[in-house]
A and B are shown apart, each in its own frame.
Chain A
Amino acid sequence: MSIEDFDPIRIRKDFPALDQTVHGRPLAYLDNAATSQKPRAVLDVLSEYYEKDNANVHRGIHELSRRATVAFEAAREKVASWINASSAAECVWTRGTTEAINLVATAWGLDHVSEGDEILISVMEHHSNIVPWQLLAARTGATLKYIEIDDEGRLVLDGLEALLTERTKIVSISDVSNSLGTINPVKTIVDASRAVGAIVMVDGAQGIVHTKVDVQDLGCDFYAFGGHKMCGPTGVGVLWGRLELLEAMAPFQGGGEMIQIVGRDKSSWAAVPHKFEAGTPNIAGAIGLGAAVDYLSKIGTKAISIHENELMAYAMEQLSLIPGLRIFGPSSLDDRSAVISFTMGDAHPHDISTILDTEGVAIRAGHHCAQLVMKHFGVPATARASFYLYSTREDVDRLVKGLDQVAVIFS
């Protein structure tokens, strides 16, 4: 689809869940940073798989098992070319972003990080890119260090050289923040980390949704993302890793699928990526994620991001007109993805969310799994509106109208 042909109104028709009323009002779904809705193309592939091809993968000689395996591996190929991996073997299916990060923190971390070593992350990380590293630090005696953030929610990179030492073993950073929308200069961080010989992991849960990701161009070592925020099903995600790193790593979990030969005392492992895929995987989920990649490829990341930027400009302008409304995160739209975190006067974000919900407007309220960010800004929680390819100006107008209602109640 060309950029001129992009039409969110037509795109909305692809998403059955958007076509409903909530508390008597048409749904304005603005909680996309938590999870996206799913297009018909993905839903159809899921039911078709269960209706026709359902069988376990890599385990049967019969026809259904062959079809399931072919579809499962074809989805891996689609995902690999979507992020420009050098080969599909570099893409490990996981349960989601969280499991992908835990896989690296465990399987890579326990063998490469020891007492006195350092792990570097940032204050703006999602809990799933903090806690696995805390666990690793506690198990190994390593130190967890943080890149700070400034008042606009940007990483403070001035002191980066000082934070990186020859003891820094791994740096793990998100490309886009879920709580603030900040787009981080990943390449700068990769270059600086390389200089001290550290490995770089990117939490791409949000980045994969809003930007064109090319893992080779980024230059990182691991890239983690999930399917459910990019039109795919829940319960499936991907760990991309450099082949030589994955090959040198010990397994994460043990079980079926990941072995070559099992003996009484010892076993040998299957080749990557299967070495990291113990047990029956989320077959339908993987195939559904492949269908989501097909769907998004047809529309084009470029067209989606132009649409989101236009919408963000409109939303930021409209919201900044509301008295008492404070917006968090970068003021420049160039550094910001399709997320607006805000507070409003003394109305608590939960109260804002309840009031909007009765108007049919779905937003998120809370700490967004980023308690360190909340602490930095001295607020217990924020309200967050987040947009995607099917969001419209009308959604923004509905949000603003709902916030007028908040102002009335909390006047």
Chain B
Amino acid sequence: METPQLSSLYQQLILEHYRNPRNKAELEEKTVEIHMANPVCGDEIRLQLRIEGTRIEDVKFLGSGCSISQASVSMMTVRLKGSNLDQADELAKRFTDMMHGDESAAKEKSLGDLRALQGVSKFPVRIKCALLGFDALQEALKKEAGVVEEGPT
């Protein structure tokens, strides 16, 4: 296998989010919470959202793990705040595409700081770390959809 470049993985922006994570706190008045762990390595997060109607009013997280998992969640929360559920779903899809090597996804402005994580796609064993937060998000969206479907219309 070609040797991947460490410099593409450990970008300053990633280390900066790792050390100063955004939105890392307990969310008061959350409407949905997902606990997600990677049992292989012990990375762990609790993603908390306050969803009103179809809009994500607020989002925070708690947890611990490697620089990639923690930076990824931090960047994700920044993008999520104020977006609607469809946009959140699209963000998760595009980010996952980028992790699986889709170059066009990596150019999308909607991903914001998350584009700095493109280099992770060259480190197959670390892709799971980057996806931890998005896996939690997709769980949360599923749960939310379930609530909507089951509720009276």
Contacts and interface: CB of A to CB of B under 8 A. Distances in A.
A177 B9 CA distance: 34
Contacts of B18: 346
A328 B61 CA distance: 30
Given A348-B67, A350-B129, A358-B4, A366 B123 contact: no
Contact of A355 (B6, B19, B129): B6
Nearest to B125: A354
Given A23-B3, A367-B42, A381-B42, A354 B65 contact: no
B126 A350 contact: yes
A371 interface: yes
Contact of B123 (A347, A348, A354, A409): A354
A348 B65 contact: yes
Interface residues of A, number: 21
Interface in B11-29: 15, 18-19
B66 A366 contact: no
B5 to A, nearest CB: 8
Contacts of A350: 41, 43, 65-66, 68, 126, 129
A409 B6 contact: yes
Nearest to B67: A351
B65 A409 contact: no
B147 interface: no
Contacts of B67: 347-348, 351
A341 to B, nearest CB: 14
Interface string A136-159: 000000000000000000000000
Interface in A303-362: 346-351, 354-355, 358
Nearest to A410: B15
Given A23-B3, A365-B41, A374-B42, A351 B66 contact: yes
Interface in A170-229: none
A116 interface: no
A368 to B, nearest CB: 10
Contacts of A371: 42
A238 to B, nearest CB: 28
Interface string B116-132: 00000001011001000
A374 B65 CA distance: 13
Interface in A358-411: 358, 365-367, 371, 374, 380-381, 405, 409-410
B122 to A, nearest CB: 11
A350 B15 CA distance: 14
Interface-central residue, A354, A366, A371, A381, by most chain B CB under 10 Å: A354
A380 B9 contact: no
A380 B42 contact: yes
Interface string B93-119: 000000000000000000000000000
Nearest to A24: B3
A355 B4 CA distance: 10
Interface in B42-70: 42-44, 64-68
Given A348-B66, A348-B67, A380-B65, A409 B1 contact: no
Contacts of B10: 351, 355, 409
Contacts of B129: 350
Nearest to A411: B15
Contacts of A347: 67
B149 to A, nearest CB: 36
B68 A346 contact: no
A23 B4 CA distance: 8
A103 B126 CA distance: 36
Nearest to A382: B42
A27 to B, nearest CB: 13
Contact of A366 (B42, B44, B64): B42
Contacts of A23: 1, 3-4
Interface-central residue, A23, A348, A409, by most chain B CB under 10 Å: A348
B44 A380 contact: yes
Interface of B: 1, 3-4, 6, 9-10, 15, 18-19, 40-44, 64-68, 123, 125-126, 129
5 contacts: A23-B3, A348-B67, A350-B65, A351-B66, A380-B64
Given A348-B65, A358-B6, A409-B6, 7 more contacts: A23-B3, A350-B41, A354-B6, A354-B9, A354-B125, A381-B42, A410-B15
- For the complex of A and B, 4 pairs with smallest distance between CB atoms: A350-B66, A348-B66, A23-B3, A367-B42
